[in-house]
Chain A
Amino acid sequence: MIQVNDLRKSFGGEEVLKGITATFEKGKTNMIIGASGSGKSVFLKNMLGLFEPDAGEIIYDGEPLHDMEIERKSELRKEMGMLFQHSALFDSMTVEENVMFPLRMFTKMKLPERLARANEILSRVNLIGLNKKMPSEISGGQQKRVALARAVVNNPRFLFCDEPNSGLDPNTATVIDQLIQEITHERKITTVIISHDMNSVMEIGETIVFLKDGKLAWKGTNEEIFRTDNKAVTEFVYSSNLFHKVRIAQNKGF
């Protein structure tokens, strides 16, 4: 479980996060949603310790991040997996080297074992036969999936995904969403997913935090999000044409 209390962060006088409190539960897919520029990525990077928050605390299973020595933080991070918005694959390594990287770094596995594990994960993200390609030789959507494979290959205890299915076709997006949820349930890990895709929210959003202009505007579950009267949320949800039509249909009593 990750608890975030009153998190604040400014860049050069402009406050991007204006005091956010949220809980991300173990064994669940926790979603952060909001329009682009609302501070989702900044929020996540503060949680990971990539940015130093101006105020507030981030508590991992009862352990505050800001009290940790750098060595302890490193240990904790070995149990984290992160899928970056733009993949952040190591561009000097092949696809399989990227996926095996955490195993190479942190386990005693020999090469054949690492390869077997990498191939197992790559097939789960529907990527076969690209092992020897460089990241620059595959599409953005494929890079995303390699990055997800790299994030989960070493069985993390905490999984963070920044827009895991942006740039993917609807089919693959669903596969990826479901894979993230499966892994979360299988291994009882704490998963935090940033998204602005309402399909994902419906499919796998077990807890939802809605950010607007750097503030927490709403929180709840994916059942509640379609029933709320919160104006900011309804505007966001029904800005998607499909859902808009669904709502009109509902109002007409279908």
Chain B
Amino acid sequence: MRFIRHIGRYMIMLFSVFRRPTKTSVLKELILKETDDLIIGSLGITAFISLFMGAVVALQTSLNLDNPLIPKSLIGFATRQSIILEFAPTFISVIMAGKVGSFITSSIGSMRVTEQIDALEVMGINPLNYLIFPKIIALLFYPFLIAIIMFVGIGGGYLASVYGNLVSSEDFIIGLQDSFIPWHVGYAFIKTMVFGLILATIPSYHGYYMEGGALEVGKASTTSFVWTCVAIIISNYILTQLLLS
């Protein structure tokens, strides 16, 4: 019952975000700032994680490849498939739920606690539009981040393979190009867009509607992380079912 109430309020929030828009020049500035905070600011850590995950995928594939009949180029193939299909879109989004998600919840939540949201409202500004709309727009750039992450991850696999003597550079690239299905990339980016929307809105919801004081801001960030992950994992399953099978 409480869950349904949350869903209802979340839907109303999504709708209200687009009503009574803030002055365009102000919105532009806010969008730039959010893009910088949420996307550019996440580039370093996600690229770092991705580089090493690509390397580990290559290493694991190689370690489990003891049948001489299976070509070594499988390492390139496996790295590509796992990075593009799941690792870059899904795993990185779960990381982002921790990084960007809890940042959004705690920053909006502390504005709630210190009555800054009330101050916006009393001025006749739509706080939902002012606070959340720029985040949604900023996260429309999320697929660009994920595209970079895909390259970095595959690069990590390549470096680990070649410098770890798992497979030759030629074989890795052969594997990389082996039975490539362009739709997989389309599928990955559709997922990424949905995850971006989840990353912008669920943490905002938890921050915006929180009650209490500073302690509750911390609790709200944790709850928000859990629900953002749950939403990502479930929609990942649904989208894969719809788009790939």
Contacts and interface: CB of A to CB of B under 8 A. Distances in A.
Contacts of B19: 70
Interface residues of B, number: 18
B121 interface: yes
Interface string B1-29: 00000000000000000011011001000
A48 B121 CA distance: 9
Given A77-B124, A86-B114, A71 B20 contact: yes
B122 A50 contact: yes
Interface in B83-131: 110-111, 114-116, 118-119, 121-126
Interface in A59-115: 70-71, 73-78, 80, 82, 84, 86, 88-91, 101-102, 104-106
Interface residues of A, number: 25
A78 B123 contact: yes
Contacts of A75: 124
Given A74-B20, A102-B123, A105-B123, A88 B116 contact: yes
A68 B19 CA distance: 16
Nearest to A77: B124
Contacts of A82: 119, 122-123
Given A70-B20, A105-B23, A77 B123 contact: yes
A77 to B, nearest CB: 3
Given A86-B114, A88-B116, A91-B116, A77 B26 contact: no
Given A70-B19, A84-B115, 9 more contacts: A80-B124, A82-B119, A82-B122, A88-B115, A91-B116, A102-B123, A105-B22, A105-B123, A106-B123
28 contacts: A50-B118, A50-B122, A71-B20, A73-B124, A74-B125, A74-B126, A77-B123, A77-B124, A78-B123, A78-B124, A80-B122, A80-B123, A80-B124, A82-B119, A84-B118, A86-B114, A88-B115, A89-B116, A90-B119, A91-B111, A91-B114, A91-B116, A104-B26, A105-B22, A105-B23, A105-B123, A105-B125, A106-B124
